Amino acid sequence: MTACGLASPHDGQRWVPRLLGVRSDQWGGRVTVRLLPGQHPDDWAKAAPRLAYSLRLREARTFTSDRPDRVVLYFARRDPLAAVVGPLPAPAQLDLSGLEFGKQEAGTPYLLRLAGSHVLIAGATNSGKGSVIWSLLRSLATGISSGLVEVWAFDPKGGMELAAGTPLFARFAYDDPDTMAGVLEEAVKRMRQRADRLRGITRQHTPTVDDLAELAAGYAPGGRMTLGAVQPARIRAWRRKLLDGGTPEPQAVKAYALLRAIFNTAIREDEIIRQNPCRIPGYDRYHTPERPTATVAQVFALAHAVPGVGRDSGVVGAAPG
């Protein structure tokens, strides 16, 4: 560390940063270091290349820690991306909060949060944009297969880029700009309809919400069932499961309202079912216990207990009307 300028002389002594922890794997190692007084993580970032060469390693990178007096260094021994990373297996369960579709420089999974976010993939020619797109489609395969996820694809190159994935797409526009514009307008219309259904219920569309998604998608514990097979008894059992599992009643009411909106769409717009099973009285509201009302004597006692508040002000404040 002295040769890299990270040790510091003080009162005739040489202060050396203290190593707090080391973790390593087949690709490299992480070293946690306590900073000396007057040091900043940028000092270590500037010295990182010299540290890597001193240790005969490929590369060194620095990261800040959750503690302001510490810095983490990652030393790379091998490059997991030197060889082509083969297609990963399709996940058994869909997790839109962390889709795994690649590997990072440290060999750890590359996770993409798709729920509640927007993703822009950009790059120069031959930079690997297509690989990212196909890896993303692969990670969505479970949701596409079950019908939970719909992929609307646009290929301005006449279908040359994405035609191989046609069976995966709910909509595939590639003919001409007018056709693609029409599909986009249809997507905007669907988005606004969804906003109308969710207004006052939730601000974010969440296609996977445990039991709510299970029921809305038409799944029962013993197998798959159609939306038309969902009856009020099933709704009662589902709501009871929510409450027994510790879900607060206000949240259960919002989940019921969202589910009713989904079934209303299946009736009015998609014409999949004729009657909404979410028609159980009282399930769309919850009751809060009435707050106790203070008596006149209690109001007077409170008024006299507050400095500077007289009896008259107490009477005025407590008078009905």
Contact between 215 and 234 under an 8 Å Cβ cutoff? The reply is: yes
Q: Which amino acid is at 284?
A: D
pTM: 0.53
What pLDDT shows up at residue 124? 86
Q: Which residues make Cβ contacts (< 8 Å) with residue 284, sequence separation at least 6?
A: 253, 256, 257, 260
What pLDDT shows up at residue 155? 92
**In the structure encoding, which two tokens stand for residue 291, read together?**
């707050």
Residue among 78, 65, 68 at smallest CA distance from 31: 65
- CB atoms closer than 10 angstroms to residue 97: 13
What pLDDT shows up at residue 212? 45
What pLDDT shows up at residue 94? 80
Residue carrying structure tokens 């989904």: 262
Environment class of residue 312 by beta-carbon count within 10 Å: exposed (0-12), middle (13-18) or buried (19+)?
exposed
Average pLDDT across each block of 10 residues of the chain; the chain has 321 residues. List them in order: 77 84 88 89 90 88 89 88 83 83 84 84 86 90 81 90 90 88 88 79 57 44 55 82 80 80 70 76 74 74 66 47 44
What pLDDT shows up at residue 209? 38
**In the structure encoding, which two tokens stand for residue 32, read together?**
């946690």
∠ Cα 130 136 141 (to 5°)? 125
Q: What domains appear along the chain, each with residue ranges and CATH number? A: 8-76 (3.30.70), 291-321 (no CATH)
- CB atoms closer than 10 angstroms to residue 53: 13
Contact between 205 and 194 under an 8 Å Cβ cutoff? The reply is: yes
What pLDDT shows up at residue 271? 61
Contact between 76 and 57 under an 8 Å Cβ cutoff? The reply is: yes
Rounded CA separation 155/179 (Å)? 11
What pLDDT shows up at residue 227? 62
DSSP symbols for 115-137:
TT--------TTSSHHHHHHHHH
Residue 152, CB-side half-sphere exposure with 13 Å CA sphere: 11
